[in-house]
């Protein structure tokens, strides 16, 4: 009987799945890269409003770049080559995964959350951009390092197939990715500067669906929802905004805290005191996002709330947009 593959892989818990997967895969190869450094270099921080795209019968609000984007940008900027694959059939996806495990190569997977049996029920909803590492197989069970979980876990072949081929928006189609070539030394200084410049550009872009302009558009719409949609639907939309912020990955506030930690690390590597100062301001902005989520959740949990509450949270969001516009313009100049 051939020995079942189990790679000597160290699991580290992280705040967000894609950053955690990349950080863990890099550490496995001997590169000590933190989750915040992956997030910052990969230009993971974003705000986007996509009212024309619906998930769970409400518009999409996203606080991060598209799935896979962080790893792509990070790898390119630090000089790591990576391979990405999608599959037409579950059988082909399984074969490629097993081949990698047999070669002692842990891989990242994009999966759907709804059928992840080890997630608590309240976190299992239709969201197809979750990331995990598969690092081995024992009998019919795949060994899983899910960065948002405290401990490693496992899934049967059928359970893994179900989440790899989840249906709906951002369907993963068996998406598998892993680094293949590494430089002797990572090009961190240049990579940090590029990551900061892109995030600053994106957050101050002159288009309505991304950055601070998107936040202001959402604020204007929040004011209209009670009258235009009625209390029930308005509550659902506001609930979606908060859920996308606080429950999917780490959302608005949490991503700001990760970005603040990135700036703190970057200030040491680049020997740039201004970045340390800005790190503190970003932490404060993260606190403002958390306050916004708390006040918004009070509105939609009280089904009979009046539209005045919507006006209050719209004003809060506009204040956050003003602060972030100043922040990212200052940050761009700092590098």
H or E element, residue 299: helix 273-301
pTM for the whole thing?
0.87
CA dist., res. 211 & res. 321, Å (int): 8
pLDDT of residue 304: 46
Residues 147 and 204 in one domain: no
pLDDT tens readout for residues 86-105:
999 999 999 999 999 999 99
Q: pLDDT below 50 — which residues of the chain?
A: 1-2, 304
pLDDT of residue 249: 52
pLDDT tens readout for residues 261-274:
999 999 999 999 99
Residue 39 lies in a domain: no
pLDDT of residue 119: 86
Beta strands 45-55 and 141-145: pairing type? unpaired
pLDDT of residue 247: 62
Beta carbons of 246 and 252 less than 8 angstroms apart: yes
Number of domains in the chain: 2
273-301 vs 308-334: helix axis angle to the nearest 10? 170
Residues 207 and 264 in one domain: yes
Q: And the tokens for 104?
A: 């002692």
Q: Identify the CATH number of the domain in which residue 157 sits.
A: 3.90.70.10
Q: Which of 302, 261, 290 is nearest to 37 (CA)?
A: 261
pLDDT of residue 1: 40
Residue 64 lies in a domain: no
Beta strands 58-64 and 45-55: pairing type? antiparallel
Q: What is the DSSP string of 175-231?
A: -EEEEEE--SS--HHHHHHHHHHHHHHHHT-SSTTBHHHHHHHHHHHHHHHHHHH-H
pLDDT of residue 10: 87
CA 298, 307, 223 angle in degrees (round to 5)? 100
CA dist., res. 283 & res. 278, Å (int): 9
Residues 194 and 148 in one domain: no
Residue 202 lies in a domain: yes
Q: For residue 91, give its domain range.
A: 17-33+81-181
pLDDT of residue 216: 98
């Amino acid at each position: 009987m051939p020995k079942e593959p189990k790679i000597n892989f160290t699991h580290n818990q992280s705040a967000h799945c894609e950053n955690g997967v990349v950080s863990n895969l890099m550490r496995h190869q001997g590169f000590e890269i933190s989750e915040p450094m992956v997030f910052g270099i990969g230009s993971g921080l974003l705000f986007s409003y996509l009212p024309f795209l619906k998930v769970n019968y409400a518009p999409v609000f996203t606080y991060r770049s598209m799935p896979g984007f962080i790893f792509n940008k990070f790898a390119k900027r630090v000089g790591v080559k990576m391979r990405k694959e999608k599959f037409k059939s579950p059988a082909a996806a399984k074969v490629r995964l097993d081949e990698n495990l047999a070669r002692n190569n842990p891989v990242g997977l994009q999966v759907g959350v709804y059928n992840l049996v080890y997630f608590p029920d309240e976190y299992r909803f239709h969201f197809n951009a979750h990331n995990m590492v598969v690092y081995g197989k024992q009998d019919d069970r795949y060994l899983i390092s899910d960065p948002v979980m405290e401990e490693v876990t496992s899934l049967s072949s059928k359970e893994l197939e179900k989440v790899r081929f989840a249906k709906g928006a951002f369907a993963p189609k068996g998406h598998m990715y892993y680094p293949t070539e590494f430089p002797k030394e990572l090009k961190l200084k240049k990579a940090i500067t590029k990551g900061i410049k892109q995030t600053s550009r994106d957050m101050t872009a002159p288009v309505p669906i991304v950055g601070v302009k998107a936040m202001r558009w959402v604020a204007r719409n929040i004011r209209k929802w009670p009258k235009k949609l009625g209390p029930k639907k308005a509550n659902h939309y506001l609930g979606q905004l908060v859920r996308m912020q606080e429950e999917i990955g780490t959302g608005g506030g949490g991503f700001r805290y990760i970005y603040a930690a990135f700036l703190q690390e970057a200030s040491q590597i680049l020997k740039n005191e201004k970045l340390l100062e800005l790190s503190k301001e970003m932490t404060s902005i993260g606190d403002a996002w958390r306050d916004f989520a708390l006040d918004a959740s009070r509105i939609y949990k009280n089904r009979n709330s009046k539209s005045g509450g919507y006006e209050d949270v719209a004003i809060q969001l506009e204040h956050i947009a003003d602060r972030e516009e100043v922040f990212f313009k200052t940050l761009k100049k700092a590098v």
